[in-house]
Amino acid sequence: MRTRRHLTALLLAAVLVPSPTLAAGPPCYRGVNLSGGEYGERDGIYGTNYTYPSEETIRYFAEKGMTIVRLPFRWERLQPALGGRLDEDELKRIKDTVGLIRKHGMAVLLDPHNFGYYDKVQVGTAPATDAAFGDFWARLAVEFANQDGVLFGLMNEPHDIKATDWLDAANAAIRSIRAVGARNLILVPGTAWSGAHSWEEDVIGGANGTVMLGVRDPLDFYAYEVHQYLDIDSSGTHPTCEGATAAVEAIAGVTAWLKKNHKRGFLGEFGAAADKDCMSGLTEIYSTMSDNGEAWLGWSYWAAGEWWPADEPFNVQPRKGAERPQMRLLANSAKAKAGACASVKPAGK
Catalytic residue annotation: 157, 269
Distant-in-sequence, close-in-space partners of 65: CB < 8 Å, separation ≥ 6? 30, 331, 334, 335
Peptide bond preceding 127 in cis form (omega within 30 of 0)? yes
DSSP secondary structure string, 128-161?
B-HHHHHHHHHHHHHHHTT-TTEEEE--S---SS
Could you tell me if 66 and 32 are in contact, meaning their C-beta atoms sit under 8 angstroms apart?
A: yes
Distance CA 55, CA 312 (A): 22
Distance CA 74, CA 118 (A): 9
Of the chain, the end-to-end C-alpha distance in Å amounts to 36
In terms of Cβ atoms closer than 10 Å to its own Cβ (0-12, 13-18, 19+), residue 76 is buried
Q: Which amino acid is at 242?
A: E
Which of 154, 191, 189 is closest to 175 using CA atoms? 154
3-class DSSP state of 226:
strand
